[in-house]
Amino acid sequence: MQLINSQAFIKLIQISSISKGSCLAKRNEFLTFNLKISQLKKADTLILETLFNLMQAKKLVVLFLLFFVINVGGLLAQDRFFRIEAKNGDSAAGLIKRYNLDVSDCNLSQFFKINKLKSNAGLLIGKKYYLPILIFDYNGKSIRTTLGIDNWEKAVEIKKYNERLLKRKLRTKSIAASNILWVPYHELGCDRTFSPTTEQMTDIKPADQPKEEKVVENKPEKIEPVKPSTTSPEVLLAGQNKSNGYRKFPIFGKKNEHIPLIDNSLKGKIYYIVSGHGGPDPGALGKKNNTRLCEDEYAYDVGLRLCRNLIEHGATVYMIIRDPNDGLRDELYLDCDRDEYCWGNKTIPLNQKKRLKQRADAVNDLYQANLNNGIKDQTLVTIHIDSQSKASRADVFFYHYPKSKSSKKLALKIHQTFKEKYAKYRPNGEYHGSVTGRDLYMLRYTDPTAVFIELGNIRNAHDQKRFIYQTNREALAKWLYEGLTKK
């Protein structure tokens, strides 16, 4: 497969006496769409050479352009994109993040467009998908001459991008060794941003919205996880079993560590709460008022509030992902830190598969131990926040394991609770959350009845209100509790 050299292409246009403005337009179109000709037939090659000679004499310019449109123009809309096979647990946002493409919203939008997917579509395991990474044949000289650009800073960024992916072994060879250049879509094509249409929605209104202040983002420090004591997690403290009064659970923080036992309606029931990502992986990233929003922090806070609600009614609860010092937080902007760890005092790995296996193993080991003690009523709740294009608004939605009737029944039960709550508290009563079967790692490889919850789109300004306000996080946790315990 050959790529037309960009400089040769520009020269052809210049010879054909096309105006300077049109020349630049064609040049930009070429760069953006990565024009390619794949093994032209011999007849086509002869025609092209003949036309080139005629053009040198400034003849038949119109004929050349007609040939160009008919034989080559159709290729303009076919970008040469990198392709990857979806693995277990992969999502569109996850792939975008893994390949360092989450710096621009248009990359995620373009992913859905080039794969002809809806903006909330899941990925099928084993199917190959195009990533918004343009592939160019490197000319062996420089990135600028390969792409036909003058922007030195852009060329440096593209070079660094290729080096980062090589270091992470997402590329097997360097640019020079392979003569292949990878270019993130946003570097050349963000003028073609795809914005999916979404229904207009109204979010949960907090009781008292504090005035937002502009906060300058600080880079998070690298902090080694603090190893907690194995003698005092909340599950062991639940053994206090006071019929009234307060019990002490340090995981909720000094201010909130004393939790009342309201009743024993959930006695004998076990819940495992897994908030997404954590440790070295902040998960999906959003931004509000120049402040970074990290998925793992908000998912953890909602999960911790759910944990408190369950404990108040006598349930035994395991917070599988834990933070030694966060506790319940009421701030708008939760600091993005790296000190979370997995149950069993284990450091969370960066590798996604290892990370998921670690937490699934922790849940399964506890499940089996509790099952051996005769406890069958065990439930797993995994909490995440989705990442889509900024324009995409989404209500809370749920995934269940397709082959598990109990998983689907649980997801539908919580979904019904949210429908009822939105009908009561939303001005227009509309709720667009969904229940879908997904073959996700934490649904497939865990033993308890499991549900996977997405709290909205962290990039959408409207959805952000759902979790940045403490009152809304508390409402989410309460509604999840009611859905989980609904008869």
Lowest mean pLDDT among 58-67, 109-118, 125-134, 205-214: 205-214
- Which pTM does this prediction carry? 0.56
Residue type, 334: L
pLDDT of residue 212: 30
Alpha-carbon gap, residue 291 to 216, rounded angstroms:
6
Report in angstroms the alpha-carbon separations of 105 from 120, 163, 239, 305. 14, 22, 48, 31
Q: Are strands 285-288 and 246-248 parallel, antiparallel or unpaired?
A: unpaired
For residue 391, pLDDT beyond 80: yes
User: For 214-237, what is the mean pLDDT?
Assistant: 43
pLDDT at 207: 36
pLDDT of residue 214: 31
23 pLDDT more than 70: no
pLDDT exceeds cutoff 70 at 424: yes
> Is residue 229 over pLDDT 70?
no
Percent of the chain with pLDDT over 90: 53
CB-based contact 224:212 (threshold 8 Å): no
In the chain, CATH 3.40.630.40 sits at: 234-484
Query: How far, CA to CA in Å, does 400 sit from each of 179, 208, 216, 305, 437?
Result: 44, 34, 39, 22, 5
The more confidently predicted of residues 167 and 103 is 167
Give pLDDT, residue 73: 35
Share of the chain above pLDDT 70, in %: 72
Does pLDDT of 219 surpass 60?
Answer: no
Predicted local distance difference test score (pLDDT) of residue 220: 37
- The C-alpha atoms of residue 133 and residue 184 are separated, in whole angstroms, by 5
Convert the pLDDT of each residue in 429-439 to its tens digit. Answer: 889 999 999 99
pLDDT at 136: 87
Fold (CATH) for 234-484: Aminopeptidase (3.40.630)
Please tell me which residue, 349 or 6, carries the higher pLDDT value: 349
Q: How confident is the model over 99-125, as a mean pLDDT?
A: 87
Across 71-75, 279-283, 348-352, least confident range: 71-75
- 120 or 270, higher pLDDT: 270
